[in-house]
Amino acid sequence: GENVGLHLPTLSVQEGDNSIINCAYSNSASDYFIWYKQESGKGPQFIIDIRSNMDKRQGQRVTVLLNKTVKHLSLQIAATQPGDSAVYFCAENMEYGNKLVFGAGTILRVKS
């Protein structure tokens, strides 16, 4: 759905700890979900994606979990590093065409 102008939530983690970033999506008919990382002043960078016929997908140091029952998506980052500090957005693909709808975003701050 439409995102609104709200302050982004912040997650602060210690370097080396695991991070979990959560996202609630809006459309139960969405069938494709993506997590993006955005560093200050840059465009979004693809991290990992998942289709609705899966509930878990793993990448390098990242895992995405999808719970369609409650329309919830999470991104887990293992052994968080200072370079992981950024804003993280989930995006859902609506059933019509290629349009992506972005979630509100979460700021991840990694403390050394």
Q: Does 104 sit near another protein (CB under 8 A)?
A: yes
Least distance CB 38 / another protein (angstroms): 8
- Beta carbons of 78 and 12 less than 8 angstroms apart: no
Site string for another protein, 66-85 (x = CB under 8 A): --------------------
Q: Round to whole Å and give the CA distance between 107 and 57.
A: 22
Cβ(89)–Cβ(101) under 8 Å?
Answer: no
Stretch that binds another protein, among 38-46, 54-62, 68-76, 77-85 (CB under 8 A): 38-46
Minimum CB–partner distance for residue 78 and another protein (Å): 23
Residue 50 near residue 72 (C-beta atoms within 8 A): no
Q: Which of residues 3-22 bind another protein (CB under 8 A)?
A: 3, 5-8
Tell me phi and psi for residue 82, to 5 degrees. Answer: -55, -35
